[in-house]
Structure 1
């Protein structure tokens, strides 16, 4: 069974902001001649990485709601220049929108069981929600209608 991670997406106001940031960073890497891959750096290394890599996703909490996810393709532990252990969560560049799920603020990342993860909007009855303008989705979610 796949295991997921959940994390706050600090600095992004919407899924569109996240997608623009990813595209910007990938373009920077392309121009610099670096490997064109997207990753998120975190301090803690997931001990259950074998249950995550290739099948699990990183679910992003944006403005108090889980709104999207990215598949985790690799987990790369490393030690930074200051001798602190960290890890790169290498992510698929495709951002998959999910049903909105309220979440309180927390630090770092947490494990997220598949049963607790929101469904993808591209599937089932929720598919039409993805077509709504972001502001409308946010207002409906704040009213508890999404």
Structure 2
């Protein structure tokens, strides 16, 4: 049984793996954070090797390792959680996901595998084609 758990999150406003990767690479220090309203109850499991899997255009396409969680107090005084994520962005096999709000837990056995080293540099398929292929279980 796996010691860790993952998160899955919609990547709003990003249209491709390359666009998300460029955004991450532009971050100072190579560590990126994502602020969310809810603090994960399974914090210990997340920090034992968990990743945040990004859904881009309805398809899980990438992941980043979770390296920590920190409290952030917004201008409105509300406590939030910053999920600290490492670079680089890791390309995964495509896996279709329906829209949802916030983030969800993702068991390791349900997470798509990383693409093999040689395929990680392949150009991305058009989003519609990638989603159709994922729907029928080809990719």
TM category, shorter = 0.7 to 0.9
Aligned pairs for 1:1-146 (under 5 A) are 1-26=3-28, 37-122=31-116, 129-135=119-125, 139-143=129-133, 144=136, 145-146=138-139
- Larger Rg over CA atoms: 1
Contact 1:54/1:71 (<8 A) preserved: no
Contact 1:54/1:74 (<8 A) preserved: no
Q: Which is richer in helix?
A: 1
Secondary structure in 2 aligned to 1:115?
A: helix
Q: What do you get for the CA RMSD once the two structures are aligned? A: 2.0
2: distance between equivalents of 1:63 and 1:110? 17
> Number of aligned pairs?
134
Secondary structure in 2 aligned to 1:16?
A: helix
Flag structure 2 segments of 5+ consecutive residues without an equivalent.
none
Q: 1:140 to 1:72 in 2, by over 3 A?
A: closer
TM-score after normalising by structure 1: 0.83
Please state how far the C-alpha of 1:49 moved relative to its aligned partner.
0.5
Flag structure 1 segments of 5+ consecutive residues without an equivalent.
27-34
Contact 2:58/2:96 (<8 A) preserved: yes
Please state how far the C-alpha of 1:137 moved relative to its aligned partner.
7.8
Contact 2:16/2:56 (<8 A) preserved: yes
1: distance between equivalents of 2:46 and 2:71? 14
TM-score after normalising by structure 2: 0.86
Contact 2:57/2:127 (<8 A) preserved: no
Contact 1:129/1:137 (<8 A) preserved: no
Residue number in structure 2 paired with 1:29: none
Q: 1:54 to 1:92 in 2, by over 3 A?
A: farther
1: distance between equivalents of 2:126 and 2:79? 41
